[in-house]
Structure 1
Amino acid sequence: MPDGIARGRDGLALFDPHRSSRLPILMDQRQHFHEAFGLVFATPFPCPEMLPAYAAEPDVTVSYGPVDAVTDPAYNGPWDQIQFVDGNILYNRTGVARAAVRDGNSITLQRVPWVPDDEVRYAFLSIVMTALLPQRGILSLHASAVSAATIPHRGQPLPALADFVESELVRA
């Protein structure tokens, strides 16, 4: 094929290695405010998985825009690719969206237009959020990573867990 694009019988592209450079960028002028991890997020889409927040100066701004391709992935899975560039993170979820996470306060998403909002939100809430939190100095632990022996009785503080995590980080 002269243009490098494999096409089906109906002429639609089956595989286009340059597809991402031609993806339209969706712009939603509305902002939705959410709270999670003690941060206020301004997003261009509603995110019912996060707590609603009053419109305020956001700690993290999420917007739609162009995102560079992942060209030298540190992780290259079948669906996900991640690249580190000058302390920032580029993420690609094949067929769903690209994301750039910058300076702990900015996330740019370039979504595939026909993908349902739920899939874009899932990419945002999983890998993209996981990339953002360490940039802000936040260590997030999944509940399954905490041993049952460290769970305090109701009403007690968590100093033992905090001391343990801090000592492990210092050792690393």
Structure 2
Amino acid sequence: MLPDGTIEGFVGGVCATDTVRAQGLRLLELRRAARTTLLRITPEAGEPHEEEGLIAVGQALGYQIETGPGVAADAGAVLVASHGVGEKPVLRDALAKGVPYIGLIAGRKRGTAVLARVEGGERVRVPAGLDIGARTPGEVAVSGYAEIISLR
């Protein structure tokens, strides 16, 4: 973290980046830069994650939603929102089954790094979704489904 708010390295998403920047600037202001500070970023109690947002919005749209490591042979679209946990096998499975739309909900840097290790990864949309300025899990889900609908 630099005094002008520039962050060098990867933080892990817009929400986390904003929090790290704000806390880093606060610590620099207080001249505590020489001390170690642990910043733990967790969702607020009751706040849904992207996976839950995808399920709720998908169900509201009337889509058949399936979760888990496998991809149905007749899947029309796959949106992966796993924060780096088990996403490569799902992406590989979707690619092998020729799913028409495959999206990875991740930042551009992390998504590019993941897809570099997935054969055929150039077919995966990352970051998934239309750029609508989404911030909350529900908004991210709407963005992803909006892209699927627009391409259908």
TM-score for the superposition, normalised by structure 2 = 0.31
Structure with more of its chain in helix, by fraction? 2
TM-score by length of 1: 0.29
Structure with the bigger percentage of strand: 1
